C-alpha cells in the first residue's frame, strides 16, 4: 500500500551529528525531536560498491575502502530502478532512481561516540536491539526513501532502526546460470546489509547480536527467504513476517533455475542481445539504459510480480523440503500474520479486468487458469472456482464476483502461504533445538478515520470492514503518532500498543 505523508518530523538543520563507523567511514546525520525524544537520523549510507557495469546482476561487493570524505547523511539518496505505472506513480514520483542505489538509513536513540555541532559526547549506556526493515512492492517496487518508512517512531521506543535498498525487477532477480549472475541479487543485497549491521551498528548504538528482521509483502517474503537460506544463518535473532512467504505450491518452487534462465534469455532477446551467444550476459550488461529492464503487465496491471529463484546458492531448497529435513534457521523466534482481507487491493492493481461491469464467471475462471499457468501450476481451476463461489448469491453480479476473486487471490498469494509457512516452521522445531516460539496473528483493525484506500474500496463495492493488504504498516511505523490530524484518537491509541508490541518483541522475544 502506498501512502504519502509530509512533514513527519521537524528537523533542525543546525543540529548535526557525526559518527565514525567501525569500518572507518564517517557519516554526518541530523538529530530529530520525535515523541519528546532526540532521535539521530542518518540517510543514504552506502554499504556496497555501485552494482553497475560488470557488477550488474552480480552479488553486491562490499565497500572496498572507507570513504575519505564525510558522507552527507542528511538527505535522501537514490532509489533502485523500478517501473512506475499510473497507479503507483503518486507514491514514487519524488524518488530519484539509479542503479547506484545500495544505501541504507539508520534511526537511533543513541550512538556510542559522536560529535555534534556544539560538543563532543560519548554514550556509555547499553547497546540497543536492532530492527532491520525490508520493504515490499512485489520485488519490483519500493524504496527506503518512501516517507512512510521513516523509522524514527520505532527508534523512539528504544531500538535502532535500519532499512536498506535492494535491487528490484530483472536487475535484482535475473538468473544467468553462472556465478557472475547467480540470481536473487536483491536478496544478496539484503544479506550484505545485514553483514554491514554486524560490522558497524555498534557505532550507532545498536547491538549486532540482537537483530530482528521484519518486512511486509515482498519484504515478508524476503524474511521467509532469510529464514531458509544457509547464507543468512547467525545474522539475526528474531523475525516478523507481515503478509507473505515463499511457501506456495505443494511440492514445486514458484520459480526454479530452468524457468528463470528461460526468462532471462527472453530479456536478452527483448533488448537486442543474442540469447544463443555465449556473451549474452555481457551484452545485457552493456545496455546503457537500465530502464529497459522494466516491465509492466500486458493486462494493464499496476506492477509485475517477481519472485526469488530456488535451486540456487541462496535458496537451495523449497520450504517444504527445508522444513522436513530441518535445513532452515530454526534458532530464530518468529511472528507471522496477515490482514483480514489481503486480496482486494492486490486483485484490483494486478487484474484490473475485475473492475469491468461485464466481469462474469467465465472471466473469473479464465483468470484462475491464467494464474495457475503463470505462477501456481498445481491449481485445480474448477474446484477452486467452485469453492470461492459458494457464498455468491448472484453469479451474474460483477461486484460479488469481484469479491470472490479478491478473496481467492489474497488467500493464494498471501494468507495461506503465510499461515502454512509459520505452521511448518513451528511444527518442525523440536524442544531440543532451541527455546524459540512462533506466534501467528490476523490483523482485524482498520483506521477508524477511513483513509483514502478504504474509501476507494467502498466505492468498488467492498464491505466497510475491509482490512486491506499493507494497512498494518500505517501502525507498525507509528504514522498516527506523528501525523495525528490524519487519524482518529482510536488510531492513535492503537498505534501506541502496536509499536510497543513490535519493539518489545525485538527487545525481549
Catalytically active residues are 217, 342, 469
Q: How far apart are CA 499 and CA 485, in angstroms?
A: 19
Q: 397: buried, middle or exposed (CB in 10 Å: 19+, 13-18, 0-12)? A: middle
SS3 content of the chain, % helix, strand, coil (to 5): 35, 20, 45
What's the full length of the chain, in residues? 509
Tell which residue, 26, 30, 5, 7, has the closest CA to residue 17: 30
Q: How far apart are CA 454 and CA 424, in angstroms?
A: 33
| 79, 96, 167, 223 from 171: Cα distances, Å | 13, 17, 6, 20
| 98, 133, 300 from 59: Cα distances, Å | 17, 20, 32
Q: 227: buried, middle or exposed (CB in 10 Å: 19+, 13-18, 0-12)? A: buried
Question: What kind and span of H or E run contains 497?
Answer: helix 489-508
Q: Are 291 and 79 in contact (CB under 8 A)?
A: no
| 320, 335, 338, 415, 453 from 421: Cα distances, Å | 9, 11, 12, 10, 28
Within 110-239, where are the H helices? Answer: 152-155, 169-173, 185-200, 218-228
Q: Are 435 and 330 in contact (CB under 8 A)?
A: no
Q: Could you tell me the three cell numbers for 425?
A: 516452521
Q: How far is CA 208 from the centre of its chain?
A: 21
Q: 479: buried, middle or exposed (CB in 10 Å: 19+, 13-18, 0-12)? A: buried
Tell me the CB-side half-sphere exposure of residue 441, using CA atoms within 13 A. Answer: 15
Question: What kind and span of H or E run contains 398?
Answer: helix 398-410
Q: 218: buried, middle or exposed (CB in 10 Å: 19+, 13-18, 0-12)? A: buried
Amino acid at each position: 500500500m502506498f501512502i504519502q505523508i509530509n512533514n513527519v518530523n521537524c528537523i533542525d538543520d543546525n543540529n548535526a551529528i557525526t559518527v565514525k563507523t567501525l569500518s572507518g567511514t564517517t557519516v554526518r546525520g541530523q538529530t530529530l525531536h520525535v515523541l519528546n525524544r532526540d532521535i539521530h537520523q542518518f540517510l543514504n549510507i552506502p554499504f556496497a560498491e555501485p552494482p553497475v557495469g560488470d557488477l550488474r546482476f552480480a552479488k553486491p561487493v562490499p565497500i572496498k575502502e572507507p570513504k575519505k570524505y564525510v558522507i552527507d547523511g542528511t538527505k535522501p539518496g537514490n532509489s533502485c530502478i523500478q517501473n512506475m505505472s499510473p497507479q503507483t506513480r503518486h507514491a514514487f514520483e519524488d524518488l530519484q532512481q539509479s542503479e547506484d542505489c545500495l544505501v541504507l538509513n539508520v534511526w537511533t536513540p543513541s550512538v556510542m561516540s559522536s560529535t555534534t555541532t556544539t560538543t563532543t559526547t560519548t554514550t556509555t549506556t547499553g547497546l540497543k536491539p536492532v530492527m532491520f526493515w525490508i520493504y515490499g512492492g512485489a520485488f519490483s517496487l519500493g524504496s527506503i526513501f518512501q516517507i512512510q518508512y521513516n523509522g524514527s517512531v520505532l527508534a523512539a521506543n528504544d531500538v535502532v532502526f535500519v532499512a536498506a535498498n535492494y535491487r528490484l525487477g530483472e536487475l535484482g532477480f535475473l538468473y544467468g546460470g553462472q556465478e557472475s549472475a547467480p540470481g536473487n541479487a536483491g536478496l544478496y543485497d539484503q544479506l550484505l546489509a545485514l553483514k554491514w549491521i554486524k560490522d558497524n551498528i555498534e557505532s550507532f548504538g545498536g547491538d549486532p547480536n540482537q537483530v530482528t528482521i521484519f518486512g511486509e509483502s515482498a519484504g515478508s517474503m524476503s524474511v521467509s527467504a532469510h529464514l531458509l537460506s544457509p547464507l543468512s544463518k547467525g545474522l539475526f535473532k528474531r523475525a516478523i513476517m507481515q503478509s507473505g512467504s515463499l511457501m506456495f505450491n505443494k511440492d514445486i518452487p514458484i520459480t526454479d533455475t530452468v524457468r528463470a534462465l528461460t526468462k532471462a534469455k527472453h530479456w536478452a532477446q527483448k533488448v537486442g542481445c543474442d540469447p544463443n551467444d555465449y556473451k549474452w550476459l555481457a551484452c545485457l550488461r552493456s545496455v546503457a539504459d537500465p530502464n529497459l529492464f522494466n516491465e509492466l503487465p500486458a493486462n494493464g496491471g499496476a506492477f509485475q510480480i517477481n519472485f526469488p529463484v530456488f535451486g540456487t546458492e541462496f535458496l537451495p531448497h523449497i520450504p517444504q523440503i527445508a522444513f522436513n529435513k530441518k535445513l532452515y534457521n530454526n534458532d530464530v523466534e518468529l511472528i507471522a500474520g496477515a490482514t483480514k482481507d489481503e486480496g482486494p487491493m492486490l486483485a484490483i492493481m494486478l487484474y484490473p479486468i475485475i473492475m469491468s461491469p461485464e466481469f462474469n464467471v467465465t472471466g473469473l475462471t479464465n483468470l484462475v487458469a491464467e494464474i495457475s499457468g503463470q505462477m501456481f501450476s498445481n491449481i485445480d481451476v474448477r474446484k477452486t472456482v467452485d469453492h470461492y463461489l459458494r457464498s455468491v448469491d448472484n453469479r451474474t453480479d460483477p461486484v460479488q464476483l469481484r469479491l470472490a476473486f479478491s478473496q481467492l487471490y489474497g488467500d493464494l498469494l498471501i494468507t495461506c502461504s503465510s499461515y502454512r509457512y509459520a505452521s511448518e516452521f513451528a511444527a518442525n522445531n523440536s524442544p531440543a533445538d532451541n527455546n524459540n516460539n512462533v506466534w501467528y496473528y490476523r490483523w482485524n483493525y482498520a483506521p477508524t478515520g477511513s483513509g483514502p484506500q478504504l474509501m476507494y474500496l467502498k466505492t468498488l463495492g467492498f464491505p466497510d470492514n475491509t482490512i486491506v493488504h499493507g494497512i498494518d504498516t500505517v501502525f507498525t511505523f507509528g504514522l498516527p503518532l506523528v501525523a495525528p490530524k490524519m487519524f482518529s484518537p482510536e488510531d492513535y491509541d492503537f498505534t501506541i500498543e502496536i509499536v510497543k508490541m513490535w519493539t518489545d518483541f525485538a527487545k525481549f522475544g
